[in-house]
Structure 1
Amino acid sequence: MYSKISQEQEVILKKLLNQKNAISFARIVLLAASVYFLYLMLYRKQEVFGWVALVFIVLFILVVTVYLKLQSKVAYHKTLKQINTNELAFLSGTYQFTDGLAYQNPQHAFSYDLDLFGSHSIFQFINRTGTFLGEEALAESLQQIPTADYILQKQEAIKELAPNLTFRQHFQTLSHLADTAKEDDLAIKKWSESSIQTPPKSNQILAIAFPVLLFLSVLGWIFNLHAVFPKLVFLFFTLNLIAMGSFSRFIMKEIGKSDKISNALMQYSKMLQAFENQSFQSKHLQLLQNQLKFKQNTAFEIVTQLANHFEKLNTIANLFVFIAFNGLFQYHFWVYKKLQNWKNNHQKQLWEYMKILGEVEALNSLANFAYNNSDYQYPNISSDQIAFENLGHPLIPKDKRVRNSIDFHKKRFVILTGSNMSGKSTFLRTIGINLVLSYCGAPIDAQQASVYPLPLWVSMRLTDSLSDSESFFFAEVKRLKQIVTEAEKQPIFVLLDEILKGTNSNDKQSGTIGVIEKLHQMNVLGMIATHDLEVCETTNKYPETMENKCFEVEIIANELHFDYLLKNGICQNKNATFIMKKMEII
């Protein structure tokens, strides 16, 4: 489908570019003709050439309007084509989507340890957002532990969005055309939270009095009532400009609060229109649509009004517009008044609308993930069970992916052993990432699965903190303390990989056993990977709730062979000495 859409867009673009080139040439011809006939009027002093020049000027303005619309269409279809080209590249194994590295947080309960953000992360794998708001909403979605009901609502929404490629790509195209960075969206937020300065009443009196007096003076001049009226016209025209010059400081302050706001808001209004006009059956999407209604107006209408106000205010920098419009009726004062009225009526809604757009973008990205992986299954949302059948890691190429099953219902805590490179850490991350995707409402690579939204805590990739003068061991202990503290408050799910690496073997062994027994007493679910086979004996104390699983390795013809298949019991084979001998280290 991506290839088909890309080819269709190529054909459309070719036609549009031909039209654009023709219109561009027409602009030049019409402009040249206008100048030529103006010259003839001045040179030959014949009024008819002036009228002909006026006709060409009007035609030039109309052609420029058509040209600008064509330019917008070209930008739209170029972006849509690029979206499909990117998806084709992604499916072939190459993708350059934003990696979300800015959201990496070593203090988070699981995102840092599971590598949710950064190069070749799950965020980069899923992300199809075009704005900072969408990117932030997706990042937040990947780090939340929602309620079971909310997960089901999101599942329903993603199921509905996934096959609706036309709407999804239209919405995605508009988001990319918005072209907003973090500072642009935050400027909108800052503006929406700021108070608008109310100008002195004297400004409004002058904005009414001077234009009225100018109008009356023009009438007196037209009807030749007195010789003073032409001078009065000039006087009041000048006074209008002086009054606006004095008032312009209010406008410049308002514009200065939000750079690029007009273009961004115009694109956001189009996104709102696209979402509002779409018919949805899922409860979550309908709820989002309902939040965009305000009295008799839609969010699209409200935000479009604001974008138009800002666009008009921005023309204050145009010298011709400033003199002509403000000299006649103090145009920008009245635009500012409309902006003031808008802010008084809708200020509270603006940022809420923006956040809803971000959430739709995040859902759109997850729906795209579902569409690209139509063989994935949506997990059953349970009240007390976490189990996966034939579970795979979505970031491992499908031809190299090994799937395993695990059930935490009866045996709620698993001690995992295995030799080096046998797949322990990968399996921990496989469970963690698929839990994260399940909580987002997305499908996962499993034959079937059941989950319920337990808070997830992971300890896998802690590092020394030189800036805090903190050792690796102390960083581990702090994380374990966080996990124990959280487990005392509520049930949690943990994934621990070779804990207490920063201490000696005896301390490590006794400490690991102590942590396992402590977590077991607090009814924690999860898995711990370890090389200490003695730790596995802990399961003998709790055979009904704990079990041992392992990954084995074989040495065949002096080569290591990993099958990455999860087995029952304790790992029997070791490979560290073999690897070092093979690499002639020992």
Structure 2
Amino acid sequence: TRAGEEVLARWLLGPAPPDEARERQQSAGELRERLDLREDLAVLGEDARAGVHAEALAGWAMAPPILDPGAARIAASALPVLLAASLAVWVWTGVGLPALVAGICQAVYGRRLRSRVLRVLREMEHPAHDLALLAAVLQRIEREPLSSARLRRLRAALDVAGQPPSRSIRALDRLAGFADSRDHLLVRALGPLVLYGTQVALAVEAWRRRSGAAAGRWIEAVGEIEALGSLAGYAYEHPADPFPELLDGGAVFQAEGLGHPLLPEAACVRNDVRLGTDLRLLIVSGSNMSGKSTLLRTVGVNAVLAMAGAPVRARRLRMTGAAVGATIRVTDSLQDGKSRFYAEITRLRQFVDLTPGPPPLLFLFDELLQGTNSHDRRLGAEAILRGLVRRGAIGLITTHDLALTEIAAVLAAPAANVHFEDHFEEGRMTFDYRLRPGVVEKSNALELMRSVGLEV
């Protein structure tokens, strides 16, 4: 459903505290083997996705009452009884004045409420239809025995006064059926005698008072269970990918056999990445196409998956919660009058504002400050990185400019150089995408230019 998409997007966009991410891991682990449940929710969710308008539904459910629940209920109950009694008196005694007075009073009262009654019934039509679609999803969740703490809380939050949500929704569905019956000939003939439309409208208002506040919880709970099901589906389809170990405390990212989850397993080259108290910065140099930017994406994507509660593409990953800040794809803007360099430093300023957290910052800078001259770039990069490390951040930067690799020596213990390299096999340039210690010792830019026919 749309609610499920929104919950999953929210989880991926914002890091969860370690305790919450651990709960999601536990719930996703439980749902991983519930293949029937996940498939049923996927099928039922298709209908709900097309038909359920979550914001409009929640707005209707929580809107102020249109009819006075006290006086209107008493009058709507008393007037038909009074009319029936006066009609009985007329039949038995022949005195018709009480029946005439009662009929006039009821007609005046019904006329007075008519516009509000019609509004209640009209505004109920779409929410009742939406909830009927949602009921199928909720009923499927009700039938499933759940054991993890988070799933049990979600299931318990669905009930209203001890009743499961599907029963509450069926009650509203019956009221919608009664409202549709107003066009039936018998109801048209006899309905005015009992204030039929008013009775149905008052019942709808009573349903909103009793169950309306739960409608938002139902939508949110369905969305969260679907999002957990998505994490579980990923875990089921990638059984070799473990759930990460989430730590409390200062910034740590320690990965063994880390790979990009979108690369096929046969083509995925894995590397170890370790950042923490002793080593806070890795400066990654290397030739073109050797894997530097892919390494940043690999770290970033796995960090996001970990903090969302999902498995990661690694043999093992231990990390603390972190805010991921990346400058992997920064562009200029003709419309805004901003150069690429200005766009980059504006984003860097945002990352500086995120430190020292919580949570700590995990930064991933691709070709840091490449839009300026080498001298200013060297000084600016050193100052920015020194400040981030001092504020407790950890991260990686990539560079072709070997002058930036000198920053590791200036920062000493908290920083280190690593690199990727290429080599030639039978006249062809090849890459092994293995991360090695130290600074790259050669460049392949000229060879690449020659390979595409440029005379250099």
TM range (shorter): 0.7 to 0.9
The residue correspondences of 1:412-427 to structure 2 (distance < 5 A) are 412-427=280-295
> 2:420: which partner in 1?
551
1:8 is matched with none
Q: Deviations over 1:495-554 (max 9, x none)?
A: 111122332333223322222222222231111111111111111133422111112122
Structure 2 Cα separation of the partners of residues 478 and 320 of structure 1? 70
Aligned match of 1:350? 215
| One-letter identity of the residue aligned with 2:126 | K
CA distance in 2: counterparts of 1:400 and 1:252, whole angstroms: 64
1:324 Cα offset (Å): 4.7
| CA distance in structure 2 between the aligned counterparts of 1:248 and 1:362, rounded to whole angstroms | 44
8 Å CA contact retained: 2:356, 2:392: no
Cα deviation, residue 216, structure 1: 6.5
- Aligned equivalents of 2:124, 2:56: Cα separation in 1: 5
1:192 corresponds in structure 2 to: 61
Distance 2:38 2:433 in 1: 38
Residue of 265, 268, 278 corresponding to 1:398: 265
For residues 317-466 of structure 1, what are the structure 2 equivalents within 5 Å? 318=183, 320=185, 323-324=188-189, 326-383=191-248, 384=250, 385-409=252-276, 410-466=278-334
Partner of 1:526: 395
Shift of 1:155: 0.8
Give TM-score scaled by structure 1 length: 0.69
Alignment of 1:22-421 (within 5 A): 131-180=1-50, 184-199=53-68, 201=71, 205=75, 208-210=78-80, 213=83, 217=87, 247-255=113-121, 257=123, 260-316=126-182, 318=183, 320=185, 323-324=188-189, 326-383=191-248, 384=250, 385-409=252-276, 410-421=278-289
Assess if the C-alpha contact under 8 Å between 2:125 and 2:176 holds in 1.
no
DSSP-derived class of the 1:297 partner:
coil
Match of 1:89 in 2: none
Kept in 2, the 8 Å contact 1:134–1:358? The answer is yes
Kindly state the Cα deviation for residue 263 of structure 1 after the two structures are TM-superposed.
2.3
Deviation readout 1:85-120 (Å, 9 max, x if unpaired) = xxxxxxxxxxxxxxxxxxxxxxxxxxxxxxxxxxxx
Letter matched to residue 143 of structure 1: L
Deviation readout 1:331-357 (Å, 9 max, x if unpaired): 221121112222223333321222111
Q: CA contact under 8 A between 1:178 and 1:263: conserved in structure 2?
A: no
Q: Separation in 2 of the partners of 1:311 and 1:402?
A: 61
Structural RMSD (CA): 3.1
Distance in 1, matches of 2:83 and 2:221, equals 48
Distance in 2 between the 1:243 and 1:327 partners?
11
Distance of 2:266 and 2:344 partners within structure 1: 36
Letter in structure 1 aligned against 2:214 = Q
Contact 1:179 1:264 in 2 (8 A): no
Offset at residue 364 of structure 1 (A): 1.0
* Structure 2: distance between partners of 1:425 and 1:362: 29
Per-residue CA shift, 1:445-479, capped at 9, x if unaligned? 11111111122222221222344333322221111
Query: Does residue 372 of structure 2 align to residue 511 of structure 1?
Result: no
TM-score (norm 2): 0.88
Using the alignment, how far apart are the partners of 1:166 and 1:417 within structure 2? 48
Say which SS state the counterpart of residue 387 (structure 1) adopts.
Answer: strand
CA distance in 2, matches of 1:324, 1:393: 70
Residue by residue over 1:378-402, the C-alpha shift from the partner in whole angstroms, topping out at 9 and shown as x without a partner, is: 1112235321111111112222222
Is contact 1:156–1:282 with CA below 8 Å preserved after alignment? Answer: yes
| Alignment-mate amino acid for residue 62 of structure 2 | E
Q: Which residue of 2 aligns with 1:91?
A: none
Cα distance in 1, alignment partners of residues 18 and 75 from structure 2: 60
The residue type equivalent to 1:424 in the other structure is: K
Report if aligned partners of 2:418, 2:436 keep a CA contact under 8 Å in 1. Answer: yes
Q: Which residue of 2 aligns with 1:471?
A: 339
Are the counterparts in 1 of residues 286 and 420 from structure 2 also a CA contact under 8 Å? Answer: yes
Q: 1:245 to 1:504 in 2, by over 3 A?
A: farther
Contact 1:553 1:562 in 2 (8 A): yes
1:371 is displaced (CA, Å) by: 0.9
Question: Using the alignment, how far apart are the partners of 1:275 and 1:203 within structure 2?
Answer: 35
Structure 1: runs of 5+ lacking an equivalent: 1-130
Amino acid at match of 1:278: E
Deviations 1:378-436 (A, max 9, x none): 11122353211111111122222221111113422111112222211111111111111
Provide the C-alpha distance between the structure 2 equivalents of 1:256 and 1:565, rounded to a whole number of angstroms.
66
Could you say which residue in structure 1 is the equivalent of 2:439? 570
Q: Is the 8 A contact 1:132 1:181 kept in 2?
A: no
CA contact (8 A) 2:325 2:362 kept: yes
* Unaligned runs of at least 5 residues, structure 2: none
More relative contact order, 1 or 2 (CA 8 Å, 6+ apart): 2
- Counterpart in the other structure of 2:365: 496
Counterpart-to-counterpart distance in 1, 2:56 and 2:124:
5
1:162-208 Cα deviation digits (max 9, x unpaired): 001112222332222223467x1110121123112125957963664
AA in 1 matched with 2:292? K
- Residue-by-residue CA offset, 1:263-320 (whole Å, 9 max, x unaligned): 221232332232233222211111222222344333333343334434543555x464
Higher deviation after alignment, 168-177 or 350-359: 168-177
User: Could you tell me how far apart the structure 2 residues matched to 1:326 and 1:217 are?
Assistant: 16
**CA distance 1:366–1:203, shift in 2 (3 Å):** closer
Match of 1:583 among 449, 452, 456: 452
* Count of residues in correspondence between the two structures: 448
Tell whether the 8 Å contact from 2:7 to 2:227 is kept in structure 1 after alignment: yes
Aligned to 2:355, the other structure's residue is in SS state helix
